[in-house]
């Protein structure tokens, strides 16, 4: 199981995938708004999105784990 982390502080504007989805490497899983920009959190590897730990509107800090991916 790999952890997906947000590289920036901000709040979650949208979830772009849902738990159980098969995702590709580089696919955007969710967007964090920071400095008026939507910063993507991308999967580093292909796999199954096991769970998303945050919801829209939640605030996240830099380095927070936001999702778990099971490697393909």
Where on the chain is the footprint of other proteins (CB under 8 A)?
7-8, 31, 34-40
User: Residue 24 and residue 61: Cα distance in Å, rounded?
Assistant: 25
Residues 6+ apart with CB under 8 A from 35: 10
Q: How far is the CB of 43 from other proteins (least distance, A)?
A: 13
Q: How far is the CB of 20 from other proteins (least distance, A)?
A: 25
Count of Cβ atoms closer than 10 Å to residue 14 Cβ? 12
Q: Which is nearer to other proteins, 40 or 50 (CB)?
A: 40
Q: How far is the CB of 13 from other proteins (least distance, A)?
A: 10
């Amino acid at each position: 199981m790999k952890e997906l982390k947000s590289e920036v502080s901000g709040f979650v504007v949208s979830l772009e995938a849902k738990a159980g989805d098969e995702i590709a490497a580089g696919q955007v899983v969710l967007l964090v708004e920071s400095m008026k920009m939507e910063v993507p959190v991308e999967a580093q590897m292909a796999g199954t999105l096991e769970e998303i730990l945050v919801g829209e509107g939640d605030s996240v800090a830099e380095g927070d784990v936001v999702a778990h991916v099971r490697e393909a």
